[in-house]
Amino acid sequence: GVKHWWAQRLTAIALVPLTLWFVAALLRHAGGSRAEMIAWLSDPVAAVLMIVLLAAGLYHAMLGVQEVILDYVHAPFLRHASLIAVKLFGALLIAASVFAVLLIAAGGR
């Protein structure tokens, strides 16, 4: 309902400046070495913004896929199973993304 609608809009709004920041960072570091990219992501501000970008983007995508399922999957069992799968897979992707950024930021792997 309304909560889902607001979450979709708020994540979309958050993604605008985050995406602009990310594109600007990629352009600024274009052609940089792996070590330079690790050093950039080791900066706490860059790491936090990257985590927020990934989490917001994946959550936004998850909400969008849920909406498609609700609109087009009519069999109740398949609808519920699909919604559960999307939520679990989305949570797994968000957790893996956060872990990856923290791993790079902490140890430079």
- Digit-coded pLDDT (tens) for 20-65: 999 999 999 999 998 999 999 999 999 999 999 999 999 999 999 9
Task: Give, in order, the Cα–Cα distances in Å from 89 to each of 14, 49, 51, 92.
Answer: 22, 22, 17, 5
The mean pLDDT of the chain is 94
61 Cβ partners below 8 Å, 6+ apart?
A: 90
Q: Determine the pLDDT at residue 108.
A: 63
